Structures are given as structure tokens and as C-alpha cells.
């Protein structure tokens, strides 16, 4: 029953993130949430799901919304979201996510610029206007990345999502519970660190979830306090 509740939470989270894009298009907001959707779903559930959801939304949005969404906005957000979805699933710290946010913003601005330059036959002042809008879209992509990074810790706890970044944070020896273990049972703590190192090496050779194995091993003797 507990596992069923967890699965329902995950489905609800995926649904909420997915419907954010058509809602913005419905209210004619001049940008899409696809970068944030890609980063969050890729980081939470892996690169395949993040990229797939962004791809499906990119196809369905122009079908369902018609002229309510601009092609430059859509393609820029779609490419940025796909990059975010593919890369975020491989990251292991929030500093790397911050760098990804810069890449997502630049990608969105560049794609918007290329699309509008291709569709526009004019030059001169019009080119300058398009360049300005491309800069705004780059900032929008960066802003969506910041929103995704800021929301991710709250969504992880609210929907009980276990991400590689969360596991890496739990494996920090300075976590309160592990610090308490080192004070109250120093022998057990040293044994735990040694076993965690062995388990991590074994998990890497076996192509298992290294972060999950290490975190689980670090806490496996916590009851000895």
C-alpha cells in the first residue's frame, strides 16, 4: 500500500509538471516551462523520461493550442528542455545543475534567434530587434532553470523522490545522524565508512545504483547507537 501511494505521488508530480506548459500557452505567456520540466523530470526520474516528456509536449502543444504558441518560443523551449532533461539525469550536485541552467538559457536564446532569422527575410533594424528578443529568451531559459533548481528540494521531500543528488547529500559524513554515529559509536562509524567504500566499488563494477548503495551502506548500522 505504501509503494502504491508513492507511485501515485510520482504520477501526480509528472502530471503537474506536464500541464504547466499548456497552461502557460493558454494564458499566452511568451515563454514555455519546458526547460524546467526537462530539468526536473530528468533529475528526478532519469534522462529518458525527461527528454521523452519534453518531446511529447513539444509535439502536442502546437496541435492543441494552435496559434496560441509561437514557433520560436516552442522550438527554443523544446531544445532547451531536451538538453535539460538529458543532462540533468547524469548530474550529482546542485553546482552542476547551476551550470546546466546557463547552458539551457543559452540554448533557448540561440534556437530562438536562428528560427526567427530563418523565417525573417528582412535585415538591418529587424535583425537587431530579433537579437534583443533572443537575449530575453535566453534570460527566460535561465530563469526557468533557477525555478527548477529552487523547487527541486521541496518537490523531492513533498513527493518523496529519491534523486542522485539527494542520495549524495545523505551520504555526506557531516549529516547530523552520521555525526552522531561518529561520536557515540566511533568504531562502528569507521567500520561503516570502510564497508561503504567496498560496497561502492562493487556497485560500480556491477553497474548498480552507486549512490543508493553507498547511502544505504552508510546507514545500515545506524541502530547500533
> Using one digit for the tens of pLDDT, what is the confidence trace for 140-187?
999 999 999 999 999 999 998 988 888 988 999 899 999 999 999 999
Of 148, 191, 172, 185, whose CA–CA distance to 13 is shortest? 148
Low-confidence ranges of the chain (pLDDT < 50): 123
pLDDT at 90: 85
pLDDT at 24: 86
Of 39, 18, 105, 28, whose CA–CA distance to 66 is shortest? 28
pTM of the model: 0.85
pLDDT at 127: 67
What's the Rg (C-alpha) of the chain? 21
pLDDT at 93: 82
Contacts of 97 (CB under 8 A, 6+ apart): 39, 43, 88, 91, 145, 148, 149, 152, 165
Amino acid at each position: 500500500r505504501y509503494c502504491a501511494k508513492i507511485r501515485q505521488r510520482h504520477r501526480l508530480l509528472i502530471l503537474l509538471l506536464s500541464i504547466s506548459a499548456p497552461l502557460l500557452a493558454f494564458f499566452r505567456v511568451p515563454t514555455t516551462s519546458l526547460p524546467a520540466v526537462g530539468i526536473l523530470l530528468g533529475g528526478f526520474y532519469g534522462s529518458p523520461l525527461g527528454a521523452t516528456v519534453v518531446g511529447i509536449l513539444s509535439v502536442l502543444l502546437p496541435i492543441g493550442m494552435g496559434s496560441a504558441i509561437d514557433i520560436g518560443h516552442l522550438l527554443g523551449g523544446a531544445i532547451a528542455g531536451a538538453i535539460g532533461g538529458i543532462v540533468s539525469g547524469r548530474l550529482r550536485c546542485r553546482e552542476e545543475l547551476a551550470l546546466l541552467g546557463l547552458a539551457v538559457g543559452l540554448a533557448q536564446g540561440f534556437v530562438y534567434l536562428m528560427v526567427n532569422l530563418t523565417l525573417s527575410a528582412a535585415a538591418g533594424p529587424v535583425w537587431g530587434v530579433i537579437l534583443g528578443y533572443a537575449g530575453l529568451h535566453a534570460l527566460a531559459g535561465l530563469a526557468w532553470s533557477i525555478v527548477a533548481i529552487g523547487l527541486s528540494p521541496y518537490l523531492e521531500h513533498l513527493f518523496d523522490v529519491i534523486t542522485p543528488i539527494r542520495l549524495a547529500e545523505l551520504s555526506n559524513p557531516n549529516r547530523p545522524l552520521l555525526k552522531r554515529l561518529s561520536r557515540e559509536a566511533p568504531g562502528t562509524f569507521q567500520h561503516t565508512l570502510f564497508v561503504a567504500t567496498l560496497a561502492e566499488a562493487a556497485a560500480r563494477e556491477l553497474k548498480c545504483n552507486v549512490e543508493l548503495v553507498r547511502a544505504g551502506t552508510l546507514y545500515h548500522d545506524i541502530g547500533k547507537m
